[in-house]
Amino acid sequence: MIPVVVGGDIGAYALLRAFHDHSGVRGVVVSRLQTRAFADTRIADVRIADVDDADALVASLVELAQERAGERLVLLSNADWYVESIIARRAELEPHFEIPLCSAGAFARVESKEAFQEDCLALGIPVPLTVPVRFDSGRGVPDGDLDALTYPVIGKASSSAEHHRAEYPGKLKVQHLATRAEVDDLLARIGSSEFAGTYLLQEFIPGDETQMRSLTAYRDSRGEVTLLCTGRVLLEEHTPGTLGVPAAILTEPYSDAMDAMVRYLERVDYRGFANADYKRDPRTGQHVFFEVNPRIGRNNWYVTAAGANPAWFVTADLDGEEIEPVRATSEVLYSVVPLSLLLRYLLDGSLRARVAKVAKRGVARPLHNPADGSLRRRLTIAALTFNYRRKYREFYPEATETGH
């Protein structure tokens, strides 16, 4: 089984590495350009294509499959907009690939953060107070009372795929807004673009990044959730293009979040990988869910490092093998940043000491792969890792109690 992953970032590399670790197979990454994550790699062939254009992407994938006729190819991605394209063109791709992804209906339901909130409320899963703002013809119309929100608030699009295609000044994946004036300014800028979706303004749950949590799940074609793994976010990325993406995670089991995820995936009849973001509310002790992404996360190496290799769950599903569900509980430290940098951003002394202790057993770094260790690659990855110091110095020079 040959994995073909559309993407090119750290998460795409981690997923291909998982397959390589699982069965020694050399996969394929289909990317817009040669990224540093795949510099001089030995575990994957790099195929350049205009992946942001659905027609060009499908043409490149079909051509790839024809070149490798007779091989068993499985098609995956860890980015919403690529998953959306694959699902929308499934009829053209399925003659060539096995595609363990959800249906178009399930994708639309999960990818919409507004629909996600509705489903969570029906299931009794805690979610933050949210006011949707619907855009049509350049004008944003709130579906609720903006004055009911207390500041600061979080702003983000209901559909990441729709927002990916929008262009406006100061565009960020997640916005942190301190006043109503900042909200009004943002809505005006979004209105100046061609964005015609729904934008969400959401109450901020107190606490810094270490109160954030990540959850990865896999639900197979039989309707069984075979994989669940959770972790505590220690530090998020702060560059505009990756804002909010976990840069370091300490795996911890949260059974309440796992149980909630099972109920949710069953409700929407989901298949494939899903990645949830949620946060512990210090006021109530509850885990408050923000969203579920209809694909595996950029930070998926924490799952493999915890002993639950994602490749195994995909392979078992596609082979029709019934396996016992796994809830990963091993304590491991995942990080893409230098350890000294990570420790500097942990304000809680006891947590900092715990992380330092776990780090002595080793740090799970997706790009530091012993099976992919040419000198040129090692130098590239070392430079990429060290470059995080510059990024944090520029975009997040000092740790704060809110993470902003």
Angle between helix axes 80-88 and 104-111 (nearest 10 degrees) is: 150
Q: What is the mean pLDDT of the chain?
A: 93
Tell me if 401 sits within 8 A of 208, measured CB to CB.
yes
At 362-400, the pLDDT tens digits run 999 999 999 998 999 999 999 999 999 999 999 999 888
Q: What is the pLDDT of residues 113-170, one digit of tens each?
A: 889 999 999 999 999 999 999 998 778 888 888 888 888 999 998 887 788 878 898 8
- Segment 8-25, tens digit of pLDDT: 999 999 999 999 999 999
Q: How big is the chain by its Cα radius of gyration, in Å? A: 20
- Position 85 confidence tier, pLDDT thresholds 50, 70, 90: very high
What integer pLDDT is reported at residue 243 of this predicted model? Answer: 76
C-beta contacts of 86-92 below 8 A and 24+ residues apart: 86/6, 88/54, 89/54, 89/58, 92/58, 92/62
Three-class SS state of 398: coil
Listing DSSP states for 225-274 in one string gives EEEEEEEEEEEE--STTTTT-EEEEEE---HHHHHHHHHHHHHTT--EEE
Write the pLDDT tens digit of every residue in 193-205: 888 889 999 999 9
- Residue 304 structure tokens: 């493999």
For residues 97-121, average pLDDT = 94
What DSSP state is assigned to residue 96? T
Tell me the pLDDT tens digit for each residue of 176-189. Answer: 899 999 999 999 99
Q: What is the DSSP letter of 146?
A: G
Burial of 78 (0-12, 13-18, 19+ CB in 10 A): buried
Residue 55 has a pLDDT of: 96
Average pLDDT estimate for 87-93: 97
pLDDT recorded at residue 326 = 97
Q: What three-state secondary structure class fits 154? A: strand
All structural domains of the chain = 2-104 (3.40.50.20), 129-203 (no CATH), 209-395 (3.30.470.20)
* E-only strand ranges, 161-211: 175-177, 198-203
